[in-house]
Structure 1
Amino acid sequence: MDPEAGLDPELRALRPLGAYFVLRTVADPAHAPRPGPVPLAEAYGATTSDVYPDRLGFRVRKVARALSAPEERIAASVAQLGLAARLWSVALGSAAVYGRIPDLGPRLLRWDPDASAPDDLWLTEVRPLPGDAATIGAAVLDAHLEPLAAAVRSRHRVAAGLLWGNAASALTGAARQLDRWARAEGRPDVAARSGALTRRLLTDPRLAGTGTLTGTAFRRRSCCLYYRLHGGGLCGDCCFTRAPAAR
């Protein structure tokens, strides 16, 4: 696809990249929002009520049940990592393939906290934005991951360093998948754009120092706690070389 051609209303070019990159839009009638799912902005809200229930807490409890997590903070970390991976994948994939990104404003993105993984997202309106690192950072870090981290920290007592490590891990994971796809499809331009954007995004103060990127391989300086699940093991970019002994 010509990176100067802009976005198509159904974001079809993201579909071959993998499930984490797909973004439903209302331009496709089959993907129109169902009643119930809410704008992501409501998941980050500081207060909850009968009108605005705790959607993030619902998601964390769902993940905890699915993983038989012994601690809620493990499920909170996994849930935040999964949502970060979806947001980075859509933004980085769009920038690398289209040269543009859709406006991912928290009021435009709808989220179903009761869906299976990867998180089910769709966009109520496709508004093209530039595909540069500053715009991607504003769209993902500022608009989503900052308020998401604040909500997870306040409700589930997860360390800030762990959550920003998750954010960096999700970004570099999306970049590795893009690089594999681009090389398999003979698209070195996509691989080059993805790599350059990822390196630039990792200089953001919230992500800088969270790990070391060598080529497309990332080694983080924190742990997402996945190893604490029964049979969880270590992630490929974990700071540990072997799982710590149980306390």
Structure 2
Amino acid sequence: MDHDPAVTDLSALGGFFVLRTGAPPDGALPTLAEAYRARDAGVEKEVYANPVISRVRRVARSVRTPEPRVAASIAHLGLAARLWSVALGAAALHDRVPDLDPRLLRWDAEASAPDELWLTEVRTLPAERIGEVVREGHLVPLAAAIRAQLPISARLLWGNAASALMGAVRQVERWALLNGRPEARVRARALAAELFTHPELSDTLDPETYRRRSCCLYYRLPGGGLCGDCCFDRPPGRT
């Protein structure tokens, strides 16, 4: 187990910020790089050949939805939130981000946070590389892996990414206020502002209210309502 402070003190920020390090209990877990490459395995093949689709199916069972694209959106939002939280939390606290190279990050598609991610080697990068680490390293190939198998729009997935990023920012801000760490809040806000200038994220949220401009489909769950940043004022009619 590694004890680099860039990751070991992230638990103070909340469960989504925790990153396990070292070898996972099950050494057979795939890396996220392998999970992203499995997009060519096909939806109907053995689920263990495609961890991303396995995760979508697990979420579908958990939230009791028969709609694969709804489960895919929720699964994507959860993983995006984990990745942004770990990276932004470390950047806010230490002005460094862990290198979340998909080849170093093992993923248990059947587990939930914080036990689904294991970083096998801890090394850090300058905070300003957070976009490269999360957006390019994970969100681009993750979206490709999901969209290769399921009919879900890229706009929705980038909306999820934006919502997850703002959720991480707000949590860092709450923690910083309670713990007298104003510099952490400043770093988080500055990094997020820069990240939102990227073409894929720049038009995903209303700049005044931070409400989404796309829907994550949560309202389509049994008993589902609207998220706090939903683009709708009331759940749309279902067909």
Instruction: Settle same-fold status: TM greater than 0.5.
Output: yes
**1:97 aligns to 2:79 (yes or no):** no
Please give the alpha-carbon distance, in whole angstroms, between the structure 1 residues aligned to 2:189 and 2:52. Answer: 31
Shift of 1:35: 2.7
3-state SS of 2:206 partner:
strand
Identify the residue that residue 17 of structure 2 maps to in structure 1.
21
**1:198 aligns to 2:192 (yes or no):** yes
Identify the residue that residue 3 of structure 1 maps to in structure 2.
none
3-state SS of 2:90 partner:
helix
Residues 1:51 and 1:74: Cα distance change in structure 2 (over 3 Å)? closer
User: Over aligned residue pairs, what C-alpha RMSD do you find?
Assistant: 1.9
Identify the residue that residue 216 of structure 2 maps to in structure 1.
224
Please give the alpha-carbon distance, in whole angstroms, between the structure 1 residues aligned to 2:114 and 2:58. Answer: 13
Deviates more, 1:9-18 or 1:58-67: 9-18
Identify the residue that residue 242 of structure 1 maps to in structure 2.
234
**1:176 aligns to 2:209 (yes or no):** no
Shift of 1:235: 0.4
Following TM superposition, where does structure 1 have runs of at least 4 consecutive aligned residues deviating by more than 6 angstroms? 49-52
Residues 1:183 and 1:213: Cα distance change in structure 2 (over 3 Å)? farther
Identify the residue that residue 144 of structure 2 maps to in structure 1.
150
Deviates more, 1:79-88 or 1:45-54: 45-54
**1:35 aligns to 2:30 (yes or no):** no
Please give the alpha-carbon distance, in whole angstroms, between the structure 1 residues aligned to 2:212 and 2:157. Answer: 11
**8 Å contact kept, 1:82–1:118:** no
**8 Å contact kept, 2:210–2:229:** yes
Please give the alpha-carbon distance, in whole angstroms, between the structure 2 residues aligned to 1:142 and 1:241. Answer: 32
* Count of residue pairs the alignment pairs up: 233
Residues 1:180 and 1:51: Cα distance change in structure 2 (over 3 Å)? closer
**1:60 aligns to 2:61 (yes or no):** no
- TM-score computed with the length of structure 2 as normaliser: 0.92
**8 Å contact kept, 1:82–1:119:** no
Whichever structure has more strand as a proportion of its residues is 1
**8 Å contact kept, 2:6–2:97:** no
Please give the alpha-carbon distance, in whole angstroms, between the structure 1 residues aligned to 2:100 and 2:148. Answer: 24
**8 Å contact kept, 1:25–1:122:** yes
Aligned AA for 1:23? L
Please give the alpha-carbon distance, in whole angstroms, between the structure 1 residues aligned to 2:206 and 2:114. Answer: 26
**Alignment of structure 1 residues 64-83 onto 2, 5 Å:** 64-83=60-79
Shift of 1:91: 0.5
Residues 1:24 and 1:234: Cα distance change in structure 2 (over 3 Å)? same
- TM-score computed with the length of structure 1 as normaliser: 0.89
Deviates more, 1:51-60 or 1:231-240: 51-60
3-state SS of 2:85 partner:
helix
Identify the residue that residue 86 of structure 1 maps to in structure 2.
82
Whichever structure has more helix as a proportion of its residues is 2
String of CA shifts for 1:156-213, please: whole Å, max 9, x gaps.
1100100000000000000001100110111111011101111110111110101124
**1:127 aligns to 2:123 (yes or no):** yes
Please give the alpha-carbon distance, in whole angstroms, between the structure 1 residues aligned to 2:26 and 2:52. Answer: 19
Shift of 1:111: 0.6
**1:106 aligns to 2:102 (yes or no):** yes
Aligned AA for 1:37? L
Shift of 1:47: 2.1
String of CA shifts for 1:76-135, please: whole Å, max 9, x gaps.
000000000000000100100011111100000011001034561110111110011xx1
**8 Å contact kept, 1:96–1:194:** yes
Stretches of structure 1 that go unaligned for 5 or more consecutive residues are 1-6
Please give the alpha-carbon distance, in whole angstroms, between the structure 1 residues aligned to 2:34 and 2:191. Answer: 29
Shift of 1:154: 1.5
